[in-house]
Structure 1
Amino acid sequence: MVDKIVPNDSRVQYKTANLNGHTYNYILSEPKGTKPLNTIFLIHGFPDMSFGWRYQIPHLTSLGLRVVVPDMIGYGDTDAPEDPKEYTCKKTCDDLAALASHIGVSSIILGGHDWGGAVVYRMAMYYPKLLSAVFSVCTPFMPPQKKFMHMSEMPNFKYQIQLRGPGVVKKIVGEEKIRQFLAGIYGARSKDGKPTFTVEVGCLFDRLDGVGSSPLVSDEELDFYVSKFKRNGMRGPTNWYRTGELNYEDEKEIALSGKEIKFQMPFLFISATNDVALPPSLSREMERSFRSLTKGQVEATHWALWEKPEEINQYLEEFLVGQIGARRASL
């Protein structure tokens, strides 16, 4: 059985830092009895928080790594400003660079999932000298656009139309609705066995009442998620979907420069066979943008970190041991 942290786990520390005017909360896990070989940042996506990396934190610490896992802007105990301008990939990267400085390190390994995956590629664009190795789970690299196109124009991203609109913010209010919403996204089914969230529509609000238990998170874990999400509601988490044009403007100059993006640091990309939002086919032409790209795949949905933690951890260990000399701590 794969070790994982639990809500309010005493084996890790819970820290805060003021980064560019925002207060961030983050999990810190240090290797016991040894100086860290390196520092690794883990970046979550929607709708998640630092706790989403619960299966990976103990394993990565056992490799001799200092593990830093922030609640991203809008989530958990981190600030949740109203303005979508505070949620752009560029601002997020600036905040992560400030977090590295706050911790006192000049080089980090960086990993992400979902929106966190999108962030790590942008971090490699904006702060390449800070990164010694990078990985993404589920999220492929999508280069800067020369002409703006909402991601929701793609069939597998239609749900983003709903998420950037007002519906989820207005309707998913209070503990009960937040619990139903999260349970459904985390694989629970409606009373008649149907999904409550699809990539074609988003949340199917009329199916939420009586939704069953999630097969991916325990009742205790779901309670923990709900307690954090109710703090600021759904405005912050959905603000990430309101940044399309803002991110485009930040990256337009790079796209129009005509210069080919070629990441120099080693990268690992792990796709999930049954991820309907981010199918493996999206990564078909990724290789051209990397000097060193390792690919892996697990048989899982979008929640691969939880469904196949042993396989994910094995990929990470093989990549990190090979690239930066991480080692398993002696038991």
Structure 2
Amino acid sequence: MVDKLIPNDPRVQTKTANLNGKTYSYILAEPENGKPLNTIFLIHGFPDMAFGWRYQIPHLVSLGLRVVVPDMIGYAGTDAPEDPKEYTFKKISDDLAKLVEHVGVSSIILGGHDWGGAVVYRMAMYYPKLLSAVFSVCTPFVQPQKQYRAMSDLPNFKYQIQLRGPDLVENLKTKEKIGQFLAGIYGAPSKEGKPAFSVEHGCYFDRLDGIGSSPLVSDSELDFYAEKFSRNGMRGPTNWYRTGELNFEDEKELAESGEPVRFEMPFLFITAKKDAALPPSLSEGMERSFRSLTRGQVDATHWALWEKPAEINQYLEEFLVGQIGRKASL
């Protein structure tokens, strides 16, 4: 049985920081015995929050790490600006660099899942000296592009058309509806036994009433999620899907330079075999962008952090053993 945090777990602190004029909420977990060997930041994706790392936080603390897990912009206790410009990879990387400064360390280990996985690659592009090692779960690296192409052009990303439009915001305005949506995207079937979400379509709103229980989160965990999401609604979380062209413009000059991005710090990439949105095949050829890339795979869907926590934690421990202690916290 893998140890995990519970809602409002007394083993961790919830703190806030002002980062470039925005208030971020974050989980802070410190090792019980002595000075941390290093500091690790964990970055969540959609639709998730810092609590999404509940299976990993206790294990990483047991390795002697200080663990910092922000609610990303738009989510839970963090500010949720209306303007998608606040959600670009560059802006978020700037915010995370400020959080590193706020925590008071000179470098960190950085990990992410889903959108958080996309963030860690961009953070490594913009602030390489702050990162001693990096990992991503599910999300592959994509080089900056010379021509803009919407991700939703790909069949496995068709759901993003719905998410960047108004429908999710308009249809999910109450805690109850948000809870039904979250249950569906976390694998709960409709009362007819059909999926409530698919990568080809998005959310099937007509299947939410009477939805069953998620196999991945308990009722108390789902209630905790729904309560946090209802604080600001779905505009902030879905703003991440409105940043495609903004991110492209930020990276255009780098793409046109002709020099592909190459990462010098050690990286770990863990794929999920049954991930419908981010199948392992998307990562083919990634190796040429890294000096040192370690790969792993788990037999799981997109929610690998929760479905296979013991395997994920083992991969992280094996990867981090060589990094813990290097560039230790000041």
TM-score, normalised via structure 1 length: 0.98
Aligned to 2:228: 228
Partner secondary structure for residue 77 of structure 1: coil
The aligned counterpart of 1:316 is 316
One-letter amino acid of the structure 2 residue matched with residue 166 of structure 1: P
TM-fit CA distance, 1:324: 3.4
In structure 1, what is the Cα distance between the partners aligned to 2:179 and 2:115?
A: 21
Matching of residue 299 in structure 1 with residue 277 in structure 2 = no
Q: Secondary structure at the match of 1:33?
A: coil
- Provide Cα deviations, 1:5-63, integer angstroms capped at 9, x if missing partner: 10000000110000000000000000012110100000000000000000000000000
Q: Which residue identity is paired with 1:243?
A: T
**Matched AA of 2:214:** S
User: Is the counterpart of residue 61 in structure 1 residue 41 in structure 2?
Assistant: no
Q: How far is the alpha carbon of 1:322 from its aligned partner?
A: 2.6
Partner of 1:244: 244
Could you say what secondary structure the match of 1:226 adopts? helix
Alignment of structure 1 residues 1-331 onto 2, 5 Å: 1-325=1-325
Rounded to whole Å, the distance in 2 between the matches of 1:153 and 1:322 is 40
Q: Please tell me the residue identity of whatever aligns with 1:291.
A: R
Shift of 1:276: 0.4
Equivalent-residue separation in structure 1 for 2:65 and 2:4 (angstroms) = 16
4+ residue runs over 3 A deviation: 323-326
Q: Distance in 2 between matches of 1:120 and 1:254?
A: 17
The 8 Å contact of residues 143 and 260 in structure 2, kept in 1 or not, is answered as no
Deviation at 1:325, TM superposition (A): 4.7
Structure 2 alignment gaps of length 5 or more: none
1:69 is paired with a residue of what secondary structure? strand
Give the conservation status (yes or no) of the 8 Å contact 2:82–2:236. Answer: yes
Deviation string, structure 1 residues 238-292 (Cα, Å, up to 9, x no partner): 0000000000000001111001211000000000000000000001110000000
Distance in 1 of aligned mates of 2:16 and 2:216: 28
Please state how far the C-alpha of 1:163 moved relative to its aligned partner.
Answer: 0.2
The letter of the residue matching 1:276 is A
Q: CA–CA distance in 2 between the matches of 1:275 and 1:322?
A: 29
1:76 counterpart letter in structure 2: A
In the aligned structure 2, how far is the partner of 1:125 from the partner of 1:323?
19
Q: How large is the RMSD of aligned CA atoms in angstroms?
A: 0.7
* Distance of 1:218 and 1:74 partners within structure 2: 24
Identity of aligned residues (%): 79
**In 2: Cα distance, 1:58 partner to 1:154 partner:** 37
Kindly provide the CA deviation profile for residues 208-252 of structure 1, in whole angstroms up to 9, marking residues without a partner as x.
111100000000000000110000000000000000000000000
How big is each residue's C-alpha offset from its partner over 1:170-223, in whole Å with a ceiling of 9 and x where there is no partner? 001101110110000000000111100000010011111111000000000000
Taking the aligned partners of 2:9 and 2:93, their CA distance within structure 1 comes to 28
Count of equivalent residues: 326
CA distance in 1, matches of 2:97, 2:317: 24
TM-score by length of 2: 0.98
